[in-house]
Amino acid sequence: MSDEHDHEPRTEPKPQAEPEPHTEPVPHGEPGDAARDADAPVAPQPSGRQRLLAGLWPPRASRAQLTVAVLLFVLGLGLAIQVNTTSDNGGPLRGARQEDLVRILTEVDNRTQRLEDEKRGLETQRSELQSSSDQAAEALKQTRQKEQQLGILAGTVAAEGPGITLTISDPDGGVAADSLLDTLQELRAAGAEAIQINQVRVVADTYFTDGAGGVLIDGRQVSQPYVFKVIGNPQDLEPALNIPGGVVQTLEKEQATAEVVRSQKIVVDALRPLEQPDYARSSSR
């Protein structure tokens, strides 16, 4: 009996249905509510300009933004000061006349042309050395030409060619050694190739000093008038001395006079003794 009860099939209990959610009835408005809502005043919408002002004012800047603003202000102030300073410092050419500026520009163009000519000459020499059938003879020829050029630069040989003669008269003795040095540097910058002052040959290591009796050049006493014999392109040399604020105007401020004369043949015949170096010797390399 008990076994029969044990083998009876078991049935699962049916799940109970979940209760439906309770919904509150939606209240219906009274008939007069819609009319009252239509009559109620509507708040005006802000315009785009008002929204922009509201976003910008009052300013809400962070510390980083304030730092950047200060840096930009300082940078702008510095640039303004720099521009103002540059405008005030126009240099000696600020009040120059048009013809003076044209002459200076021509001088610069002539210097450029002179450098271009020298470049072409060096390129021609290189081509001749490379293409010459007798390179040894060509090298010897160019070596002799180079020796002649170096002798002119060293002041050991005489030279002649076109150039100018600059005569500086200084009866009051107001011209000092630095004024003559400035004149020499201006002539060199204009392309002077050989220079002689009175009876002193000017070379690369020439120096000027003031002495008790006047100006000394390389330790030799010279007296006024100071006569510069200069070999070079006269069209470059003369304008270089007459630029605004240049050599001629500076000498006139010192109560001296400067006279420039062009010539197609200037002879520089003052020589310097050939000095043998104490330690340097020629090398085959």
- The residues spanned by each domain of the chain are 96-271
CA of 43: how far to CAs of 33, 40, 46, in Å?
19, 10, 9
| Residue 227 one-letter amino acid | V
Which residues lie below 8 Å from residue 252, measured CB to CB, with a gap of 6+?
A: 258
Confidence of residue 198 (pLDDT cuts 50, 70, 90): very high
Q: Could you identify the residue written with the tokens 């000498």? A: 251
Q: What is the pLDDT of residues 3-13, one digit of tens each?
A: 444 444 455 55
pLDDT score of 87 more than 60: no
Predicted TM-score (pTM) of this structure: 0.54
Q: Which amino acid is at 204?
A: A
User: Is omega for the bond preceding 13 within 30 degrees of 0, making it cis?
Assistant: no
Q: What is the largest CA-CA distance in the chain?
A: 162
Read off the amino acid at residue 60: R
Q: Pairing mode, if any, of strands 159-169 and 257-268? A: antiparallel
Q: What is the mean pLDDT of the chain?
A: 80
What are 221-260's pLDDT values in tens digits?
Answer: 999 999 999 999 999 999 999 998 889 999 999 899 999 9
State the architecture of 96-271 in CATH terms.
Answer: 2-Layer Sandwich (3.30)
242: left (phi over 0), alpha (psi -120 to 50) or beta: alpha
